[in-house]
Amino acid sequence: MRVQGAFNLLFRSGLRKDFRDSYNKYEPEYPGYLNSGTMDGPEVEASIITGLKRLLERGDGEPVIYEDPKLGPKVVGVDKEFALGFMITRRTVEDDKYSKANQASKWLADATRMTYEYRSASLLDDAFTGTTFTGIDGLRLCHTAHTLLNSSVTVANQPASPVGFSVTGINALLNLSQLLKNENGDPIKAVPDTLIYNPLQIDIAMKILGGTLEPFTADNDMNTIKERLGGGVKQVIKRHTIDTNDYFLIDSNLNDAWFMMRRPVEFDDEFDFDTDAAKYKATTRFLVWFVDWKGWWGANPT
């Protein structure tokens, strides 16, 4: 509880009016790499299904062989609830000469926004460990050997030997995207259209995506990355992750990573009769998860 002693500086004249309690903020990041949805219950369930493989050759008069489509396992996501409160005494508010002690709405709104950002970013931080998030094949988001439902073939969406954010590194992810397969092990088309990287990589990204000639060389070669990604690639700069080395490509049409809202943020307040304190709180429920790993490619160089 905030009482007078904690905010005693606010009860005397002489402080400058600028308390530097507000700063410009970046645009929300997580909508750039997570689909948005809502939940009407505490759980959301998902599965995948695959059709039949290739036709089988048969001789004259031989019977047709029949196969069944295959249904994958059921995966379940459960939302999490987040809450935070703030209490301040009436006397503290009354004696505050600067109207700064009680900014509960602003502080709680900012805390909520940061909760959404950091919780979403944890999916990126966990993409190469799978400690918190695993997909329908039981593996982490980025792996060198994703298993398929109806094939013994495995598929990589992470280079076996990743290199740093560079022409070589992005080309390695683009090459993996060309090897993507469906649950039957058949090639499927992927068109990466979103690039996620860290703030310290902005300069490199501008050089890679901005010119028609390959950067960091004598400029004798074509900038193949720009051609492969196209001029309309979306760039997401991730500022809320712990890892500063990893980077990702996403095909937004295949992307199956989600921010699912169960209860939008609610702000409540009340006055405590015994202590003459105002109480404020913010609560929300949501789920960050992914089901199918297809559409993501990532590298995590050391």
- Class of the CATH-defined domain 29-299: alpha beta
Distance CA 180, CA 73 (A): 21
Q: pLDDT tens-digit profile of 91-146?
A: 888 888 767 777 788 889 999 999 999 999 999 999 999 999 999 999 999 999 99
Closest CA to 142 of 294, 11, 282, 3: 294
Residues of the chain with pLDDT > 90, as a percent, come to 69
Using CA atoms, how far residue 62 sits from 18, 56, 106, 133, 260, in Å, is: 87, 11, 75, 48, 51
Locate the domains of the chain by residue range. Answer: 29-299
Q: What are phi and psi of 119, to 5 degrees?
A: -65, -40
Which amino acid, 124? L
- If phi over 0 gives left and psi between -120 and 50 gives alpha, with beta otherwise, what is residue 115? alpha
Q: pLDDT tens-digit profile of 27-44?
A: 999 999 999 999 999 999
